[in-house]
């Protein structure tokens, strides 16, 4: 069992969820990383729900594209984190995630946008 593939969830207001390495831990390990961020305020569904405060953050190995970690704060992130859990378990790369079609309009689109942002390809900011 890889403990880095176990999501952590905090059922608070706002909710907090994470999986894998933090940005600081990845740097401490000497990894060259790419970090993506996407704010809730940039997502139409979050705005329509009246819950537009929050952030999705993704950390990738810059050389291999490996998803090293994801950190989320905002509405329903304890439900959304499973997507990054699956991605880590399947050893998904940034290319796989960038080419995945996320449904619209959904909160999960922010996950996609965070991945795109890490590689300078954000669509909705």
- Domains along the chain with CATH numbers: 3-118 (3.30.390.30)
Question: Do residues 111 and 84 touch, judged by C-beta distance below 8 A?
Answer: yes
For residue 82, the cross-strand partners are: none
Q: Of these residues, 99, 104, 112, 124, which one is catalytic?
A: 104
104 catalytic per annotation = yes
Please, which pLDDT band fits residue 123 given cuts at 50, 70 and 90? confident
Strands 16-20 and 8-10: antiparallel
Is pTM, for the whole model, over 0.95?
Answer: no
Q: Half-sphere exposure (CA, 13 Å, Cβ side) for 91?
A: 2
Is the confidence at residue 11, as pLDDT, over 90? yes
End-to-end CA distance of the chain: give it in Å, rounded.
Answer: 37
Cα four-point dihedral sign 81, 83, 38, 22:
positive
Is the confidence at residue 124, as pLDDT, over 90? no
> Taking residues 60-70, what's their average pLDDT?
97
């Amino acid at each position: 069992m890889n403990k880095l593939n176990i999501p952590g969830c905090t059922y608070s207001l706002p909710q907090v969820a994470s999986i894998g390495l933090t940005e600081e831990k990845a740097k401490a390990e000497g990894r060259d990383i790419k970090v993506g961020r996407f704010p809730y305020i940039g997502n139409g569904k979050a705005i329509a729900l009246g819950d537009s405060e929050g952030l999705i953050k993704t950390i990738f190995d810059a050389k291999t594209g490996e998803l090293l970690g994801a950190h989320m704060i905002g509405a329903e992130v304890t439900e959304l984190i499973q997507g990054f859990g699956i991605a880590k378990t399947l050893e998904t790369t940034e290319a796989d995630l960038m080419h995945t079609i996320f449904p619209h309009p959904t909160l999960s689109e922010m996950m996609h946008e965070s991945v795109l942002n890490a590689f300078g390809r954000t669509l909705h900011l």
